[in-house]
Amino acid sequence: MAMEIQEKLLKFKYHIIVALVLSIVLISVIVVAPSFLNILAYFWPLFLSTALFLVTVLFFGKTSAPASADSSPSAEGLLDYVAGHHGHHPAVELVQPHHPHHEASAETVKSESE
């Protein structure tokens, strides 16, 4: 009779070990971990500032006018420049200053290649 019980218990050896380890961990966390009020008392400035920031974002999101579908030409030129489309565009001139020396060297290269 005792051997049958021992054989049945050996079948569930890993289950019993896992249950014991989880029980010990759970009990130690309950005993050692700080209470919820201690955590709240420590982090209340962070929680408050985060809540105020989210309220501000929601407020400005509701009250500000939606962005227009038409983007300005300067914004399009800047986006084209950042995307790597370095064609002649008025907004690109805002990003790249006008240098007469560069144009002269470019003209020299063109005349030499012809």
**Structure confidence at residue 114 (pLDDT):** 54
**Structure confidence at residue 94 (pLDDT):** 52
Q: Comparing C-alpha atoms, which of 96, 56, 60, 94 is closest to residue 74? A: 94
Q: What is the pTM of this model?
A: 0.37
Question: Is the per-residue pLDDT at 96 higher than 50?
Answer: yes
**Structure confidence at residue 92 (pLDDT):** 47
pLDDT in tens, 15-67: 999 999 999 999 988 888 888 899 899 999 999 999 999 999 999 999 987 76
Average pLDDT over residues 68-75: 64
**Structure confidence at residue 101 (pLDDT):** 58
The per-residue pLDDT of the chain, averaged, comes to: 78
**Structure confidence at residue 56 (pLDDT):** 96
**Structure confidence at residue 75 (pLDDT):** 74
